[in-house]
A and B are shown apart, each in its own frame.
Chain A
């Protein structure tokens, strides 16, 4: 019997000895009551604030409802979806979003994992340095956006001064604006990837590295054959979270740039819903977005399970 099995047996035996009724009686409540006390508030909250609006907006997405007009909503079938999917401008929004997701999430993964590799050793003030590196993640998106706008300023921003770029246009340059926003996003969210990577790296048993050293593996071979496979599940989780977030990102592009080249789907959606008051149409767009995010996440999760099985 291995230690794990032995522990399991011991635990089971210990649990069987405790009579559940006597435990509950001691508290005065049954286990069922306590369970319900924890579960019911959550369920009520979920239904009122998540599930109900979700279903209600699904209904709206099949109508021509406008929240600004007191006219009743007319059922229009799949018209809204058809209109959106055949609109080249919407497709442009999706292309912009895709580009943004790839650049910013890709950058975050590389920077975050890289920094984690650097931090995964002992050095003085390690905890302090790690905390400092985590700071960007804790700030408000709007504040970060406003500050970076100042940093990017062509005439007196510190970025151009530091890089010696003269009066280079970042945010008002249609070709550059999306990348500029993505860089800000990378700065802000790399720490998140770093944090998960660090957790993964510190979970790699040290004796595996020792075994590899004895087996005369090169550093690169050790990295690709031991470190990466063992950290990859956590890296994938970081990837899932960041992709979902980046796909629906709104704050940074909205605050930092008004360019058409930075108009991601979320901004289009915002304009549609609250500037043009096309409530029904915007609900349909929101649903399209939801489906895309679910699809991407599913692909990742499937891959994640495969990685874990290996």
Chain B
């Protein structure tokens, strides 16, 4: 198990810069999730740690040792890719044995059998051991490739969107399994995904990447409730945080251009009047009730069983609100809503940075 640190890492491919001055620290035994859109540099970060790419600038430390010049074999990592990368023409058993047999260090045959049996049991693929890999379903293949990672005890597990090619049900099941696995093994995991639900549900810590820059690192709670900027606010949560352009007038939020006003509980603090701001509010912190201050029309109703997600139109602004499934509303109905003033996050109108983070 290992502690991983990236210091000022920059990676360029020709003219394009995949990563800019990245600083990242993953504690021993932590489940760290890198969240970002396609092209944000998630996979590059992973490949740099695995040793499949060399950083253009900066250092990579595993347990305090600079591994920049080490090859993948010396770094002793396990990598699970989205495209499974199982060895074709071999059975599941042979695939699982591969990392042990191919190891530079000699492993006793008995030990190999034990390790393969253990991995197969954890991943519930014992009945598949003698099957050829091309006769497996997607979920089974992904289990085998995870199995290939856990037969040996690598210092860190690197996973590149391992679940995104699977169907929803299986993805949910494997999500739980992976998390359990990490806790059983007590291993350091670096998990890369573009799916914020995966990130929120699995990660001990989340790092949000935006175009090669690490925007924020924190626990899922911090990321969700205290996003560092509007990008993070938009990245997590389903539906994402409502972001409303506006200004502060006499301690109240005034949302432009079709103005409506809402109270702020002293959050304004040192913020000067009239400064352009973005007000961020989570859908669940909006309440729809009679007598609330702002009028809005119901634009859309999405029923999710336990709750309903309403799209409201207030002036020119569209807002999502999560309400109880028992609330009866119809499209085009006029409702009134309020927000929980405690929960409003203020962002600077120009830079998008949260004022709580000292913007």
Residues of A at the B interface (CB closer than 8 Å) are 1-2, 205, 207-208, 210-218, 221-222, 225-226, 229-230, 310
A-B contact pairs, 19 of them (CB 8 A): A1-B167, A2-B165, A210-B52, A210-B79, A212-B102, A214-B73, A214-B77, A215-B103, A215-B148, A216-B104, A221-B101, A221-B102, A225-B98, A225-B102, A229-B88, A229-B89, A230-B88, A230-B89, A310-B89
Which applies to chain A's interface (DSSP): helix, strand, loop or mixed? helix
| B85 beta carbon closer than 8 Å to chain A | yes
* A215 engages B81 (CB within 8 Å): no
* A207 engages B83 (CB within 8 Å): yes
* A215 engages B99 (CB within 8 Å): yes
From known contacts A2-B138, A210-B52, A210-B79, infer whether A215 and B85 are also in contact, taking CB-CB under 8 Å: no
* B73 engages A216 (CB within 8 Å): yes
Contacts of B148 in A (CB 8 A): 211, 215
Q: Count contacts on B: residues with CB < 8 A to the other chain.
A: 27
From known contacts A207-B83, A218-B102, infer whether A213 and B71 are also in contact, taking CB-CB under 8 Å: yes
Q: Report the minimal beta-carbon distance from B155 to chain A, rounded to whole angstroms.
A: 12
Using A211-B81, A213-B73, A229-B89 as known contacts, list a sample of 8 further A-B pairs with CB atoms less than 8 Å apart, ordered by residue number in A: A208-B87, A211-B87, A214-B73, A216-B76, A217-B102, A222-B102, A310-B89, A310-B132
* A208 engages B102 (CB within 8 Å): no
Residues of B at the A interface (CB closer than 8 Å) are 50-52, 71-73, 76-79, 81, 83, 85, 87-89, 98-99, 101-104, 132, 138, 148, 165, 167
* A215 engages B102 (CB within 8 Å): yes
Q: Report the minimal beta-carbon distance from A278 to chain B, rounded to whole angstroms.
A: 51
Contacts of B76 in A (CB 8 A): 216
Contacts of B87 in A (CB 8 A): 208, 211-212, 225-226
Contacts of A205 in B (CB 8 A): 83, 85
Contacts of A218 in B (CB 8 A): 102, 104
- Closest chain A residue, CB of each to CB of B50: A214
Q: Report the minimal beta-carbon distance from A87 to chain B, rounded to whole angstroms.
A: 46
Task: Identify the interface centre among A214, A221, A229: most chain B CB within 10 Å of its CB.
Answer: A214
* B98 engages A208 (CB within 8 Å): no
Q: Report the minimal beta-carbon distance from A13 to chain B, rounded to whole angstroms.
A: 21
Cα A216 to Cα B72 with chains together (Å) = 7
Cα A208 to Cα B86 with chains together (Å) = 7
Cα A230 to Cα B98 with chains together (Å) = 16
Cα A218 to Cα B103 with chains together (Å) = 8
Contacts of A230 in B (CB 8 A): 88-89
* B103 engages A210 (CB within 8 Å): no
Cα A310 to Cα B50 with chains together (Å) = 31
Task: Identify the interface centre among B50, B88, B138: most chain A CB within 10 Å of its CB.
Answer: B88
- Closest chain B residue, CB of each to CB of A1: B167
Contacts of B50 in A (CB 8 A): 214
Cα A225 to Cα B87 with chains together (Å) = 9
* B72 engages A214 (CB within 8 Å): yes
